[in-house]
Structure 1
Amino acid sequence: MRLILLVLALLVGALASPPAARAGGTLTIGLTQYPATLNPNIESMLAKVYVEGMTLRPLTAYDQDWKPVCMVCTELPDLAKGTAQLETTPDGRKGIAVTYSLQPDATWGDGTPVTTDDVKFTWEVGRNPNSGVSNFELYKRIYKLDVLDAKRFTFHLDRVDFDYQSAGDFRLLPAHIERPIFEADPAQYRFRTAFDSDPTNPGLAFGPYKIVSLTPGSEIVLARNPTWWGEKPFFDRVVLRTIENTAALEANLLSGSIDMIAGSLGLSLDQALAFEKRHGDAYRVIYKPRLVYEHLAPNLDNPILADLKVRQALLLGADRETISKQLFAGKQPVADSSVSPLDWIYDPDVEHYPYDPARAGRLLDEAGWHRGPGGIRRNDKGEPLRLSLMTTAGNRSRELVEQVLQAQWKQLGIEVTIKNEPARVFFGQTVTQRAFPGLAMFAWLSSPENVPRTTLYCDQIPTAENHWAGQNVQGYCNKDMDRLIDAIETELDRDKRKALWARLQARYAETLPALPLYWRADPYVLPKWLEGVRPTGHQNPTTLWIENWRRKDG
């Protein structure tokens, strides 16, 4: 009798429970950018990082809780465990040796094991001055590499960095594919990499997915990678569809052409707020404050923008509070520097530039720009105060901000011309090669307590001579800032480091290497049947954990 009752109870329970979702099918994601390159170490376009999250894994990353974790390694190096050891560099400085082990089952999609040969090759590419890698500073400071065996290696770093456990910008290249291309001509490598010439080669991926087809500028199709060592991803295929116009992106979602919109590469905040009011019963909208710094990068080779008083006047003449309230419902707070209020190192006492057009006008007068016929300011030579402003075409939010700034600066006597470009051109050429003549509006993504060496240090200015390596695209050089960056990186005491961060933020506000606009909150528009998507709030994309995404049961 008890057995019969137990069987009946199990049957009732089974009938009452919703059926488990069957794995498979296709997930189609809409985004506003298409990568300028798919090589993981050349350029830093967000669309590329989003794709890489599915096809590759960095050595380490910050997770959704902002903690450093291993991705393709097995354990973070640790001074207490002996996998990190203090040492003296050949030139007598304090350095550190950090040892990593690669995931034992990590394998490229063509069956070739991921080994220290790939580590060694990636390091060689990064240290070659002709390669044009984005973060060449990382490879400079790894002055020596010891290969211990096929899966273990030691980096020797030329300084003791507080963030010594992390190596998120060290992204492996497949030596068996890329080495012949690189060795043939290092200076041409960035243009000939197999990631762009042969992107569907399975040997370029060791993540949960691999690229199986693409239409340049339009679509990338990914399928499960059978050599992936981790949890099997739920979806058979993932399609990334680029729709640069955000209004068209929304229309494609509603028509069913796409299933979701990538948060950091999707709708503007004002569009998402309006969308949620109309369609919140059918979709889930997540607003995630992020370490994403929207700003105006001035080309400091332009003599007008090289004048600090002009940069100060531009910032004082921009009503950023009103922009935040009226365009973004206050969800994207005004930025005062490149350090977010979400980060523990933020200094609330940093100088703030309020909207003050009267003071802005006085600064322009002091800089030698006086109002002339038609209200436009001119210098003593009669040249007009004219600037160009550029951003990504089709991004409704940025284009609205541009129009507001153009109108506000016109009231100051500044003539602003707007010239936007598709994101692939804007990031792939114009920004990277410092080809914007005036101001460029875009965002920097960062990790928690991210030291801005690549964007502010004097030797990080991209030039033709260094093959456009580095991310200091504004051309800023300030030796005091360089010294602060050096001091922060090597200060292990948390309280002392926070004091140094306060000084860096003050210096940033004093010298204005960029004009801060606001901190972004990205809206993720998801179907209600999709679960497992956890926005990180920092530079590492949600796709680094795509194997956790799945269709809800029921």
Structure 2
Amino acid sequence: MRRYLTALALSAALAGPALAKDELAIGITQFPATLNPSIESMLAKTYVLAFAHRPITAYDAAWQLTCLLCERLPTIENGLARVEPLEGGKKGIAATYTLRADARWADGTPVTTDDVVFSWKVGRHPQSGVAAAELFRRITRVEVRDARTFTLHVDKLTFDYNAVNDLRLLPAHIERPRFESAPAEYRNRTAYDQDSTNPGLYNGPYRITAVVQGSHVVLEPNAHWGGVRPAFKRIVIKAIENTASLEANLLSGGIDMIAGELGLPLEQALAFEKRHGTRFTVIAKPSLTYEHLDLNLSSPILSEPKVRRALLLGLDRETISRQLFEGRQTVAESLVPPLDWVFAADLPKAAFDPVRAGQLLDEAGWKPGPGGIRANDRGERLSLELVTTAGNRSRELVAQVMQAQWKKIGVELRLKTEPPRVMFGDTVTRRKFPHMALFAWYSAPENVPRSTLHSSMVPNAANNWSGQNYTGYASPAMDRLIDSVEVELDKDRRKAIWRDIQALYAADLPALPLFFKSDSFILPKALKGVQPTGHQDPSPYWAEHWRWE
């Protein structure tokens, strides 16, 4: 109760009068742990930076790869990409990009190939702390042709060879001294966190002009932006972690809209639409967002496959979806959503089967004990801790239902919530959760899960906690499948490999699949131009087209 009252007090403090029509206030449920484009993978950071920092390439709302910071996508067909023979009969790719002529950092400095080379060096450094380091390691050389044109020489010919979405440019004129003086400390010394309002850090239509930690971020137009002129003189993004308070802020005028990428859970948005649909437009966008439980496979309990299988069979996910989400959140069988063309619809489903779950726990040595909670022959109780994000009512409800369902098969579940910036900035990144973490992965179309499933991507002190394989999953078979699917250009053969990936994932269960979510955008009727994408490249990548009608 105290937490709820505190959240409402924060809500009232943030509310205030409605903003002017050349301003926009947006509510999201998390505050970024960092603003550096390359460090960590928290969605809140991606969302905020999407207004102010553009990647070279991204997937648009039609799920097509497009240039944002480049002039033309290189393809083998247009001659800007060419296959390169490598030693041992392998094939690489050389792809040539030209940066937009009008690309400027907000301090007026041109975005150049110097930034490309510097960003690549940061990403390749083993101690830089870059989250998605694989792309940088694959780029063996950056060939600079002039100030705007460069060729990336990559050691693999992959089906998505021209998608360099993870090559987030860092301004060399600002970040180079901070990196080169102490690479292992760079993640703690980046200007994005120590000098966040420096205009030279941003190259999008807006730039960050104020940051109040844990509260809000203010953005204003980038005077050196060369694209469509943005419509708002000021955008305020407010982090309101309690979703009831988020809704209250919208109704009181403290915010104008709630972001679908990080907003109200579906069931709350549907109820909101019934009450306030005449005032707001509510868009439920089916997405690639994968809600799941990451399991720490270093745990002696969860390292046993029979226990993992029992936990999944002991969950009635269909009932959870029907009762909490009106059946509009698809139950997940693996990490690939049905919306993706590589989804394997013919694989068997793990239906609710508490009887079989109990049998598996018996076989794993966990017998019914005092109070209905199972124990092993050493008298240790089958007790697990689940950590999830504080203030997210949907996740709290799901966690409580899982707690009740697992108790019926003899599993005790202890619930713990943490502020998102703590959970994603430290707990999961450094694998500090003892058993399981409930959160979502936001992915791109046909997203190869190297960073989350390949054994080389387990975060540890030696790699400065880079990589996103938080479960510690290490499967030679999965490694081989990931390695092969990336380099298979034939779509039919690639889809067959994708099927094997999904089958192995469903068999090994490094994580427990829950749902594929729908993003709930709640927009004022007069706001136009917002296009939900349904994937990890968020709608603000096109924020220069947002405006009041």
**Normalising TM by the smaller chain, what interval?**
over 0.9
2:34 aligns with: 37
Task: Please give the residue correspondences for 1:257-272 in structure 2 after superposition, counting only pairs within 5 Å.
Answer: 257-272=254-269
Structure 2: where are the runs of 5+ without partners?
1-19
Tell me the SS of whatever aligns to 1:238.
Answer: strand
Structure 1: where are the runs of 5+ without partners?
1-22
2:298 aligns with: 301
Deviation per CA, 1:147-193, whole angstroms, max 9, x where unpaired? 11100001111111000111111100000000000001000000010
1:333 aligns with: 330
Tell me the SS of whatever aligns to 1:294.
Answer: strand
The answer as to 2:360 corresponding to 1:360 is no
| Cα displacement (A) at 1:300 | 0.5
For 1:54, which of 26, 51, 56 is the aligned residue? 51
The answer as to 2:134 corresponding to 1:128 is no
For 1:542, which of 535, 539, 543 is the aligned residue? 539
Is residue 24–residue 236 contact of structure 1 (8 Å, CA) maintained in 2?
no
1:104 aligns with: 101
Work out the CA distance in 1 between the residues paired with 2:68 and 2:495: 28
1:495 aligns with: 492
Residue type at the aligned position of 1:301? S
Report the TM-score, using the length of structure 2 for normalisation. Answer: 0.96
| Cα displacement (A) at 1:92 | 4.8
Deviation per CA, 1:479-499, whole angstroms, max 9, x where unpaired? 111111111100000111111
Tell me the SS of whatever aligns to 2:94.
Answer: strand
The answer as to 2:427 corresponding to 1:439 is no
Tell me the SS of whatever aligns to 1:265.
Answer: coil
Residue type at the aligned position of 1:496? R
Work out the CA distance in 1 between the residues paired with 2:364 and 2:106: 59
Residue type at the aligned position of 1:25? D
For 1:283, which of 276, 280, 283 is the aligned residue? 280
2:455 aligns with: 458
2:315 aligns with: 318
Residue type at the aligned position of 2:271? A
Work out the CA distance in 2 between the residues paired with 1:338 and 1:373: 36
The answer as to 2:482 corresponding to 1:485 is yes
Tell me the SS of whatever aligns to 2:534.
Answer: coil
Work out the CA distance in 2 between the residues paired with 1:167 and 1:229: 22
| Cα displacement (A) at 1:94 | 1.0
For 2:172, which of 172, 175, 182 is the aligned residue? 175
1:430 aligns with: 427
Deviates more, 1:504-513 or 1:86-95: 86-95
Work out the CA distance in 2 between the residues paired with 1:488 and 1:50: 29
2:403 aligns with: 406
Residue type at the aligned position of 1:175? A
Is residue 351–residue 509 contact of structure 1 (8 Å, CA) maintained in 2?
no
Deviation per CA, 1:481-528, whole angstroms, max 9, x where unpaired? 111111110000011111111111111111111100000001100000
Q: Percent identity?
A: 60
Tell me the SS of whatever aligns to 1:390.
Answer: strand
Is residue 21–residue 548 contact of structure 2 (8 Å, CA) maintained in 1?
no
| Cα displacement (A) at 1:93 | 2.1
Tell me the SS of whatever aligns to 1:377.
Answer: coil
1:159 aligns with: 156
Work out the CA distance in 1 between the residues paired with 2:364 and 2:468: 29
1:474 aligns with: 471
Larger Rg: 1
Is residue 294–residue 518 contact of structure 1 (8 Å, CA) maintained in 2?
yes
For 2:82, which of 68, 80, 85 is the aligned residue? 85
Tell me the SS of whatever aligns to 1:162.
Answer: coil
Length, aligned pairs only: 530
Work out the CA distance in 2 between the residues paired with 1:114 and 1:27: 28
Deviation per CA, 1:452-499, whole angstroms, max 9, x where unpaired? 000000000000110000000000011111111111100000111111
Deviation per CA, 1:48-84, whole angstroms, max 9, x where unpaired? 0001111111110000000000010111111112111
Tell me the SS of whatever aligns to 2:537.
Answer: coil
Work out the CA distance in 2 between the residues paired with 1:90 and 1:530: 55
Deviation per CA, 1:89-130, whole angstroms, max 9, x where unpaired? 356521111110000110101111100000000000001001
1:28 aligns with: 25
Residue type at the aligned position of 2:94? A
2:187 aligns with: 190
Work out the CA distance in 1 between the residues paired with 2:545 and 2:21: 13
Is residue 24–residue 234 contact of structure 1 (8 Å, CA) maintained in 2?
no
Work out the CA distance in 2 between the residues paired with 1:88 and 1:202: 42
Aligned-residue CA RMSD (Å): 0.9
Is residue 74–residue 96 contact of structure 2 (8 Å, CA) maintained in 1?
yes
Work out the CA distance in 2 between the residues paired with 1:383 and 1:206: 55
For 2:60, which of 58, 63, 67 is the aligned residue? 63
Is residue 61–residue 70 contact of structure 1 (8 Å, CA) maintained in 2?
yes
1:16 aligns with: none
Residue type at the aligned position of 2:538? P
1:115 aligns with: 112
Residue type at the aligned position of 2:54? R
1:20 aligns with: none
Report the TM-score, using the length of structure 1 for normalisation. Answer: 0.95
Is residue 447–residue 538 contact of structure 1 (8 Å, CA) maintained in 2?
yes
Residue type at the aligned position of 2:523? L
| Cα displacement (A) at 1:351 | 2.6
Residue type at the aligned position of 2:410? G
Is residue 55–residue 207 contact of structure 1 (8 Å, CA) maintained in 2?
yes
Tell me the SS of whatever aligns to 2:25.
Answer: strand
1:5 aligns with: none
| Cα displacement (A) at 1:264 | 1.7
Tell me the SS of whatever aligns to 2:157.
Answer: coil
